[in-house]
Amino acid sequence: MEENFRDSIGTINKEGKRAWVFPKKPSGPLYEYRKYVSYALLLFLLASPFIKINGNQFLMFNVLERRFNIFGLPFWPQDFYLFVLSMIIGVVFIALFTVAFGRIFCGWLCPQTIFMEMVFRRVEYWIDGDRGAQKRLDRQEWNAEKIKKRALKWTVFFFISFLIANVFLAYLIGSDRLLLYISQGPFRHISTLVSLLIFTAVFFFVFAWFREQVCIIACPYGRMQGVLLDNKSVVVAYDHKRGEAEKGRKKFKKGEDRQALGHGDCIDCFQCVNVCPTGIDIRNGTQLECVNCTACIDECDTIMENVHLPKGLIRYASEENIEKKTPFEFTPRLKGYSAVLLILIGILAGMLFLRNDLEANILRLPGQLYEHKENNIISNVFTYKLLNKTTKTIDDVSFKLLSHNGKIEVVTHENFDVPAQGLSEGTLFIEINNSALNGDKDKLRIGVYSGEHLIETTTARFLAPRSYK
């Protein structure tokens, strides 16, 4: 075997410069399925910031104001624990998913692949033509045809990038504010306009030039593949046992009995290489550049059909499937991992939906102990903070002591409202008869009511003299 086998990546030439990839236009059943999946995901990505549920944007990640909406549920900095938990679950999920199913996510769901292969690449095929025409155009001098095609392509790319940047901004600052800024004219919001143009430039750079390099050198998930995959992981794989047989691959000759001659089923047509958007030869084994886009599966299946050999020379399979010549099966390991993944999704969904709309914090006033009052009443003073995470005012709010006999008196002596997505804070006194106390530091359970409805419960420590133990 050559000493330099696989010691360089397909997108860098011998001089160390970028080798531009001109992938052939994919076609085949998997590509069709991917198209449908990508249409659904594009619709989801583009529409999510403009959909409202109970007045809340469906998805919003307002990092500057630290406000997040997920599936229409508003999250605040106070929900940070949920964020940390979902991050931990997310990391476990990604690790398990990748160990079991390889990079399926990259090929089918990743926004980079979807925008690159299903939007920008298709515009490119439409303007520049297929692989051969693109290569010719690239070599061609800057004549009228090339200038016209490049100008058209880059203009379309710019507008798509601008559209994506607007949607991206709608995720960040909220679609209402974005639409308001647009209606007021961009020059009244220069800093937002500058951000928008920077995002547009970044998207243009990524999709017009950087392209597959994102997956190969920039994406941390792609870089982790080496440690996450093992020989049981299901990936897009070339069946080297079948493709190479005893005497290796060989060009197709009509009427030849390849099996009798000991040649494998690979007819060395290079179509799987030509169609690959990351410029690799999948026949060299699993490589970190492979985004599992399945274009080579479709392409090789078409070739196999044409030469009347069984399809599936390149297919979803694990290294073990190929070595042991076993078909893909849903093994107990995959079942186990899938069950764990489902449980994790369930936990996360439960955490998201069972979260309260009102966050209540009741803390003793610093530096204050307790006060004796008439008739053996002990009084403690507290501050309260109520955060309304919804877009509706919570009215007629009051507190009740749930764990002890006693009373809670807000300083203002009246019920109050908590404004939508706002905060109410103040001071309250809790008074409990000594006979109802169990010790000098009782834990109180306090109910927060809107009218007669209990909307949240919280706890607080009540201090009393030691003699009441």
Note the residues at the interface with ligand SF4 (CB under 6 A): 236, 238, 243, 266-272, 275-278, 280, 282-283, 290-296, 299-300, 303, 313-314
**24 CB-contact burial (10 Å; exposed 0-12 / middle 13-18 / buried 19+):** buried
* CB nearer ligand SF4, residue 295 or residue 397: 295
The neighbouring-strand residues paired with 67 are 62
Question: Is 320 in contact with 231 (CB distance < 8 Å)?
Answer: yes
In the complex, the smallest distance separating the C-beta of residue 316 from ligand SF4, rounded to whole angstroms, is 10
In the complex, the smallest distance separating the C-beta of residue 181 from ligand SF4, rounded to whole angstroms, is 40
Q: Tokens 């089923």 label which residue?
A: 265
* CB nearer ligand SF4, residue 87 or residue 109: 109
* CB nearer ligand SF4, residue 284 or residue 459: 284
Listing from the earlier edge strand, what are the strands of the sheet with 67-70?
Answer: 59-62, 67-70, 73-75
Sign of the C-alpha dihedral computed for residues 297, 300, 306 and 309 taken in this order: negative
- Residue 187: what residue type? F
* CB nearer ligand SF4, residue 128 or residue 298: 298
* CB nearer ligand SF4, residue 35 or residue 150: 35
In the complex, the smallest distance separating the C-beta of residue 306 from ligand SF4, rounded to whole angstroms, is 10
The helices-and-strands tally (H runs, E runs) of the chain is 18, 16
How far from chain centre, in Å, is Cα 253? 48
Query: Closest Cα to residue 74, out of 320, 345, 356?
Result: 356
Query: Closest Cα to residue 106, out of 373, 294, 347?
Result: 294
C-beta neighbour count of 46 within 10 angstroms: 14
In the complex, the smallest distance separating the C-beta of residue 317 from ligand SF4, rounded to whole angstroms, is 12
Q: Tokens 């903070």 label which residue?
A: 385
In the complex, the smallest distance separating the C-beta of residue 138 from ligand SF4, rounded to whole angstroms, is 20
Question: Is 387 in contact with 66 (CB distance < 8 Å)?
Answer: no
Tokens representing 349 are 């969904």
* CB nearer ligand SF4, residue 98 or residue 403: 98
In the complex, the smallest distance separating the C-beta of residue 325 from ligand SF4, rounded to whole angstroms, is 17
In the complex, the smallest distance separating the C-beta of residue 272 from ligand SF4, rounded to whole angstroms, is 3
In the complex, the smallest distance separating the C-beta of residue 279 from ligand SF4, rounded to whole angstroms, is 8
* CB nearer ligand SF4, residue 34 or residue 189: 34
* CB nearer ligand SF4, residue 246 or residue 452: 246
The neighbouring-strand residues paired with 386 are 360, 424
